[in-house]
Structure 1
Amino acid sequence: MRAKLRLVGAVAVFTAGLAVAACGPTAAHGTGGPPPPHSVRSSRPAAPAVSHGSLPTCRTHALKWTFTLLNAEGPGQQPNARLSAVNRGKDRCVFGGYPGVDVHNGKANSVDGVGRGRPAPVTLPKGEGVTVDVRYTPRGTKGASDLCVSESEAVVRAPQDAARAAVPITDTRHKTAKFKACGETMLLSPPRHTPGT
């Protein structure tokens, strides 16, 4: 009786072993059951990265520029002026950096715009633009140097463009105004996107 029980037990173990051996290679080779997680990820194409490279850069004469004096009286946290540029072309373009801007008395003294760091490029569909805050030392304020400029026009250009454009300087009521600043530079904030109106 014991011999029969041992024989039955051995047959059961042997049969179970065959079943495991038969299933093992099938799962390992991926012919049965769901594929491992890494196979699913590698079979999907990566999402394309957002790129500005296929778009043209914004050109100075394809932008509508405004240079507006604000109500700030001296150097500080509030900007003294605001420069804006709106894409008036038919297609999108990339505004990739700080604009060129300077105000000068003929060929004499000038106050030039400077920025810090490398700002992110901004894509501008038609009718949308960028705004740049401008800070400088107004004439007559504490710390003003003797190198001063008084002018009602600024010269601007788009990043990566050699062409320049003259822009009237206005106040917040859109009336002609005088830019009166001292020193050699005015500080520009990174261009920020402004949606169309």
Structure 2
Amino acid sequence: MTAELVAVNSGPHSCSLAGYPKLEIRMDKGSRAHGAGQGSPAPVTLDTGRKAVIDLRYSEMNGKGPDTECPATASPADVAAPGDSATVRVPMVDQNAKPTKDTICGAEVRMSAPVAR
């Protein structure tokens, strides 16, 4: 499955996102999936109103089909900017900004490098 993590610069000045954010997705049964990126992505500078998008990839299958042993559904996520320890709890939403949940098998969600949009 794929999803996106989106951060918007709502401040009055440009800002920079340097690295991968901390991402921890909470599961219904108390377990968590953590975001993992590879390497050191180039910093992304965001003018006011611009957003950084990180593609997320994860499995909702155990290799044989839907897995009832998976940690059920996931929502919400705790996110912190790179190098920041303060997390923000964000809901998982669909393309229409409606609350949603998704099944994540495994403890890792792969993250692409941030891209400005």
TM-score, structure 1 normalization: 0.54
Identity of aligned pairs, percent? 35
CA drift of 1:147 comes to 4.6
One-letter amino acid of the structure 1 residue matched with residue 103 of structure 2: K
Tell me, yes or no, if structure 1 residue 108 matches structure 2 residue 30: yes
Q: Deviations over 1:60-114 (max 9, x none)?
A: xxxxxxxxxxxx4xxxxxxx11111010011111100011111123793110000
Consecutive unaligned residues in structure 1, runs of 5 or more = 1-71, 73-79
Do the aligned partners of 2:77 and 2:89 also contact (CA within 8 Å) in 1? yes
Which whole-Å CA distance do the structure 2 matches of 1:149 and 1:159 have between them?
28
Structure 1 runs, 4 residues or longer, greater than 4 Å off: none
Which whole-Å CA distance do the structure 2 matches of 1:169 and 1:141 have between them?
22
Aligned counterpart, 1:63 = none
Q: Deviations over 1:25-54 (max 9, x none)?
A: xxxxxxxxxxxxxxxxxxxxxxxxxxxxxx
Q: How many residues align?
A: 115
Aligned counterpart, 1:131 = 53
Aligned residue among 123, 147, 151 for 2:74: 151
Aligned counterpart, 1:99 = 21
What secondary structure is seen at the aligned counterpart in 1 of 2:103? strand
Which whole-Å CA distance do the structure 2 matches of 1:137 and 1:107 have between them?
17
One-letter amino acid of the structure 2 residue matched with residue 169 of structure 1: M
CA drift of 1:118 comes to 0.4
Aligned counterpart, 1:118 = 40
Q: Which structure features the higher share of strand residues?
A: 2
Q: Which structure features the higher share of helix residues?
A: 1
CA radius of gyration, larger in: 1
Tell me, yes or no, if structure 1 residue 172 matches structure 2 residue 86: no
Do the aligned partners of 2:27 and 2:75 also contact (CA within 8 Å) in 1? no
Tell me, yes or no, if structure 1 residue 192 matches structure 2 residue 115: yes
Tell me, yes or no, if structure 1 residue 142 matches structure 2 residue 49: no
What secondary structure is seen at the aligned counterpart in 2 of 1:170? coil
Larger RCO: 1 or 2 (CA < 8 Å, sep 6+) = 2
One-letter amino acid of the structure 2 residue matched with residue 142 of structure 1: G
TM-score, structure 2 normalization: 0.87
Greater shift in the superposed pair: 94-103 or 147-156? 147-156
